[in-house]
Amino acid sequence: MDHLIWLFVVVVLLAGGLVSVSIWSRRRTWVKLLAILLGALFIPAAYAGYVGLLSKPRPMELEWLQRLAPEATVLGARIHEGEGIYLWLQIDGIAEPRSYVIGWDRDLAEQLQQALQEADTNRSGVRMRLPYEKSWSQDRPPFYALPQPAFPPKDQIPSTAPMDYEHPDFKT
């Protein structure tokens, strides 16, 4: 979200530059006033466009800042048959999760569904290899379930005295 503010500042500066060029040109006064009005209307329209984009998932193909990320954790997924696969990913090293959409691919949806079921059985999570790769290899599916977490070692459980249970209604 931090970069969104700077992008908006750049848009405002560019719009201001275009308006100032049109003001100092040799045009009629009404053309100059129209340029100022259009520049003034462009700024809130750009702001509304940016704010509207905040709640929508970004197409996976349009990600270019994190293009080289090796893996991501799948926090949530929603599969719409014939429409797309919606993912909520936590990229390693980035604090906030990101929302993406992948174009509909039946094989990819089946792999994701299988990984989610396996993760549910293991009580673990799902990871995604090379999330921004344009074509995933068939021998290594992009989605995989993490292994079942290990139980804590028994020697680390403090057990100095036997545990006594007292029912809340029966105090002695």
Task: Report pLDDT digits (tens) over 63-103.
Answer: 888 888 899 999 999 999 999 999 999 998 888 899 999 99
CATH of the domain at 116: 2.40.50
Query: pLDDT band at residue 56, thresholds of 50, 70 and 90?
Result: confident
Question: Do 132 and 69 belong to one domain?
Answer: yes
Question: Do 48 and 70 belong to one domain?
Answer: no
| 153 lies in some domain | no
Question: Do 67 and 121 belong to one domain?
Answer: yes
The pLDDT assigned to 171 comes to 58
C-alpha–C-alpha distance, residues 67 and 61, integer Å: 9
| 167 lies in some domain | no
Strands lying side by side in the sheet with 126-129: 58-59, 98-103, 84-91, 71-80, 126-129, 143-145
Question: Do 81 and 95 belong to one domain?
Answer: yes
The pLDDT assigned to 21 comes to 84
| 169 lies in some domain | no
Q: What is the pTM of this model?
A: 0.67
Query: pLDDT band at residue 19, thresholds of 50, 70 and 90?
Result: confident
Question: Do 74 and 37 belong to one domain?
Answer: no
Domain assignment of residue 68, given as a range: 58-145
- Over residues 103-107, mean pLDDT: 91
Question: Do 90 and 117 belong to one domain?
Answer: yes
- Over residues 48-66, mean pLDDT: 82
- Over residues 152-164, mean pLDDT: 66
Per the prediction, the chain carries an average pLDDT of 84
pLDDT for 2 beyond 80: no
Question: Do 43 and 65 belong to one domain?
Answer: no
The pLDDT assigned to 54 comes to 79
Question: Do 74 and 122 belong to one domain?
Answer: yes
User: How many domains are there within the chain?
Assistant: 2
Question: Do 37 and 69 belong to one domain?
Answer: no
